[in-house]
């Protein structure tokens, strides 16, 4: 597999790649652990914006808490799935650089698996504008926790296809750093969790990663076949029909001192 250098153009193409996979995304991507969602939200929150909401993986968990949710997502195909799956959300087609929300109108802004796609300077200015005094930004990333050798093998195949390193935050950093945000005002937490997945689920989930979706067909099939082989071999070794897929949700929250 030949992977080109990771350029801003490739980053931008990947950020826009999700709509073509909207149904698969909804079917195969994971939810988020409840304790992580609770940790991100300020006490007494009522109105929350989920930005880069995708098909609503986080939106649904917010609605389940009785919150009023504005789900902001630039891709029309993702918005269509979100509106179908979560009709109670106020779904808006927009980007993080121009939030369709009034000044000081939200108790919290949350972002699931999407902060790395945003133009950070504009997004931070918009989040400051829409948050009420005392409001909070919460970020969450589900990360594969390669504690098991088979997961390390799958991640190595995945990393090769991605073409650049992604640090797995499997312990809390001494200094919390997130692009665009003031380090001294950030807090972080980790929430380990496990799903039971079969080979089809591991394969299908990987196929919803933007860097995998954008591979040439033959390269994508080769990668997914290699992953399926690793997962199937481990299941045969264990004599099971599913495997525990270990993950850790890395969360950061920011309560701006001055709004």
Ligand X SMILES: C[S@@+](CC[C@H](N)C(=O)[O-])C[C@H]1O[C@@H](n2cnc3c(N)ncnc32)[C@H](O)[C@@H]1O
Q: Taking CB under 6 A as the rule, which mask of x and - marks residues 46-65 in contact with ligand X?
A: -----xxxx--xx-------
Bridge partners, 139 (sequence order) = 111, 252
- Tokens standing for residue 194: 């496990």
- Tokens standing for residue 245: 């897929």
Nearer to ligand X, 58 or 224 (CB): 58
Residues constituting the chain: 259
CB 131 within 8 A of CB 256: yes
Query: What is the nearest approach in angstroms of ligand X to the Cβ of residue 158?
Result: 14
- Tokens standing for residue 35: 């304790």
Only segment of 71-79, 83-91, 161-169, 230-238 that touches ligand X (CB under 6 A)? 71-79
Which of 70, 113, 151, 247 touches ligand X by CB under 6 A?
A: 113
CB 45 within 8 A of CB 19: no
Bridge partners, 141 (sequence order) = 250
- Tokens standing for residue 69: 């949710």
Q: Distances in Å between the alpha carbon of 140 and those of 9, 40, 122, 218, 251?
A: 25, 8, 19, 33, 4
Distance (Å, whole) CA 154 – CA 220: 14
Query: What is the nearest approach in angstroms of ligand X to the Cβ of residue 74?
Result: 5
In the three-class reduction of DSSP (H, G, I as helix; E, B as strand; rest coil), residue 259 is classed as coil
Which of 33, 60, 74, 135 touches ligand X by CB under 6 A?
A: 74
CB 242 within 8 A of CB 235: yes
Nearer to ligand X, 69 or 78 (CB): 78
Question: With binding defined as CB under 6 A, does residue 250 bind ligand X?
Answer: no
Query: What is the nearest approach in angstroms of ligand X to the Cβ of residue 139?
Result: 10
Footprint on residues 8-27 left by ligand X (CB under 6 A)? 15, 18
Only segment of 40-48, 70-78, 165-173, 238-246 that touches ligand X (CB under 6 A)? 70-78
Question: With binding defined as CB under 6 A, does residue 75 bind ligand X?
Answer: yes
Nearer to ligand X, 106 or 230 (CB): 106
Only segment of 37-45, 73-81, 158-166, 238-246 that touches ligand X (CB under 6 A)? 73-81
Which of 21, 45, 69, 95 touches ligand X by CB under 6 A?
A: 95
Question: With binding defined as CB under 6 A, does residue 73 bind ligand X?
Answer: yes
Nearer to ligand X, 52 or 199 (CB): 52
Q: Distances in Å between the alpha carbon of 254 and those of 39, 77, 168, 186?
A: 12, 30, 20, 5
Question: With binding defined as CB under 6 A, does residue 78 bind ligand X?
Answer: yes
**How many Cα atoms within 13 Å fall on the side-chain side of residue 168?**
17
Question: With binding defined as CB under 6 A, does residue 106 bind ligand X?
Answer: no
Binding site for ligand X (CB under 6 A): 15, 18, 29, 51-54, 57-58, 73-75, 78, 95-96, 112-114, 117-118
């Amino acid at each position: 597999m030949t992977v080109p250098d990771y350029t801003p153009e490739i980053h931008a193409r990947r950020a826009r790649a999700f709509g073509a996979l909207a149904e698969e995304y909804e079917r195969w991507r994971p939810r988020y652990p409840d304790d992580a969602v609770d940790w991100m939200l300020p006490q007494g929150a009522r109105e929350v914006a989920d930005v880069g909401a995708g098909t609503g993986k986080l939106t649904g968990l917010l609605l389940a808490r009785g919150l009023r949710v504005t789900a902001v997502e630039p891709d029309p195909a993702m918005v269509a799935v979100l509106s179908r799956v979560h009709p109670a959300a106020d779904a808006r087609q927009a980007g993080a650089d121009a939030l369709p929300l009034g000044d000081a109108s939200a108790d919290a802004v949350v972002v699931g698996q999407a902060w790395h796609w945003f133009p950070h300077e504009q997004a931070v200015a918009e989040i400051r504008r829409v948050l009420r005094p005392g409001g909070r930004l919460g970020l969450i990333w589900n990360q594969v926790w390669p504690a098991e050798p088979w997961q390390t093998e799958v991640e190595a195949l995945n990393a090769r296809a991605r073409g650049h390193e992604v640090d797995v935050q499997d312990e809390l950093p001494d200094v919390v750093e997130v692009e665009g945000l003031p380090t001294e005002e950030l807090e972080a937490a980790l929430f380990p969790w496990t799903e039971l997945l079969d080979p089809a689920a591991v394969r299908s989930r990987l196929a919803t990663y933007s860097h995998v979706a954008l591979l040439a067909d033959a390269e994508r099939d080769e990668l997914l076949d290699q992953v399926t082989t690793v997962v199937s071999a481990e299941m045969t070794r264990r004599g099971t029909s599913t495997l525990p897929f270990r993950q850790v949700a890395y969360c950061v929250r920011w309560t701006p001192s001055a709004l």
